[in-house]
Amino acid sequence: MQGENVIETCPGRQPSNNEKLYRWSSWQPKTPFAPTWDCPMYSDTVDTAICNTILTGLQNIKVGHWTTYNIFLTDHPLALQLKERIKESMYEFGNELKITFSDQLWIRGWMHCTKSGEKLPIHSHSMHENTFLSGNILLHDSDVRTEYLIPHYSTYCGNFKPEAKCGTMTWFPSWVEHFVPYCEENRYSLAWDIYTNEAMEYMSENYPEDSMNLSCLL
3-state SS assignment for residue 110: strand
CB 47 within 8 A of CB 58: no
Which residues are paired to 83 by β-bridges? none
Do 34 and 172 contact (CB within 8 A), yes or no?
no
Choose the weakest-confidence range: 57-71, 122-136, 160-174, 190-204. 57-71
* Predicted pLDDT at 1: 46
**Reported pTM:** 0.94
pLDDT of 55 higher than 90: no
CA distances from 4 to 7, 8, 9, 52, 196 (A): 9, 11, 11, 35, 38
Residue type present at position 209: E
Determine the average pLDDT of the residues in 154-158: 95
Domain ranges of the chain: 21-217
Q: Which CATH number fits domain 21-217: 3.40.630.30, 2.40.50.430, 2.60.120.620, 3.40.47.10?
A: 2.60.120.620
CA dist list (Å): 57 to 139, 190, 214: 12, 13, 22
Residue 79 pLDDT level (bands cut at 50, 70, 90): confident
